[in-house]
Structure 1
Amino acid sequence: MLEYRVVARRIDAHGGMARCKGAKITLDTDVNGRADAFNPAELFLAAIAACMLKGIERVTPMLRFNLRGVEVKLHGIRQDSPPKMASVDYELIVDTDEDDRRLDLLHTNVRKFGTIFNTVSAATRLEGRIVRAAKG
């Protein structure tokens, strides 16, 4: 089993700092929000996106899938009572010349083998689609 460790500290009433390895992320913990940091819901969505991107990096060599770029757009809905993420929708945009069957295969692999993807999809509605990037 793999293990992960992150340490987060309060900086002040407006933010905190999370660290792992040699990386750090400023956290938006201000009750009024702040524009220069991710709040917890945004970090949650970013974790899903990072999982999908990492999954693509992992499977493209095995599938011999050629791409020029990838973008993930996510939209989360938070319910108030009890507070939780009720749903997450995504659009996975791939710049590729691969055919539709291969694009669907990539999507299947992203959904099947992503640790964060699988954890989130077991807890809430996580749905989306893969599309080809527009030419030009």
Structure 2
Amino acid sequence: MERLEYKAELEWDGNVGSTAKVREFTFKIDTNTDGRNTGPNPTEYLLSAIGGCLAVNWGRLIKKMRLDVEGFKVEVRGWRTRDEPQLKEITYKLTVFTKEPERKILRVKELAEKYGTVFNTVGAEKIKGEVEVLRP
């Protein structure tokens, strides 16, 4: 079986943030509470990673299934209490602009969740999603 490996390197900024390097890309990780607010915090990156995972898989599936989709957007949300350092709920809403039948769009949702690396690493049982189809 082919093994896919991923790597990120982070360098501390001397406060609470860091600069991450992934392949040829760099980005800041910080907080807006006790940091310098130079970038999203780790939880926001996690939510972005979940949304990005879904978006990549939706894009692949739309092409593979030759669907006529004008566009889509994903919003991912999470919440926690101040006392427990764990997200209690993660939800996403994907809005897709298409004339395709709803059954095809729901099949894309099913497959995107089934094959999403980040989605399944976090745990499909922890993420609840809905799809809204808007007809152009």
TM-score by length of 1: 0.87
Deviation above 3 Å: which 4+ runs of structure 1?
Answer: 33-36, 79-82
Q: Contact 1:73–1:92 (CA<8 Å) still a contact in 2?
A: yes
* Residue correspondence of structure 1 range 11-22 to structure 2 within 5 A: 11-13=13-15, 15-22=17-24
| Match among 60, 80, 92 for residue 90 of structure 1 | 92
**How far did 1:12 drift?**
2.8
Amino acid at match of 2:18: G
Deviates more, 1:101-110 or 1:6-15: 6-15
Distance 1:104 1:34 in 2: 42
CA contact (8 A) 1:95 1:133 kept: yes
State the 1:31 CA deviation. Answer: 4.6
1:120 counterpart residue number: 122
Give the counterpart letter for 2:121 in structure 1.
T
Shift of 1:30: 6.1
**Cα-to-partner distance string for 1:51-83 (whole Å, 9 max, x where unaligned):** 001101221122112212111111101244441
Deviation at 1:111, TM superposition (A): 1.0
Structure 2: tracts of 5 or more residues without a match: none
Q: Please say if residues 17 and 35 of structure 2, whose CA atoms lie closer than 8 Å, have aligned partners that are also in contact.
A: no
Q: Distance in 2 between matches of 1:134 and 1:38?
A: 33
Query: Quick one: percent identity of the two aligned structures?
Result: 28
CA contact (8 A) 1:33 1:39 kept: no
Partner in structure 2 of residue 72 of structure 1: 74
AA in 2 matched with 1:42: E
Q: Which amino acid aligns with 1:132?
A: V
Distance 1:102 1:34, change over 3 A: farther
Where does structure 1 lack aligned partners over 5 or more consecutive residues? none
- Pick the aligned partner of 1:60 from 54, 59, 62: 62
Structure 2-normalised TM-score? Answer: 0.87
CA distance in 1, matches of 2:106, 2:32: 41
Q: How does 1:17-28 map to 2 (within 5 A)?
A: 17-28=19-30
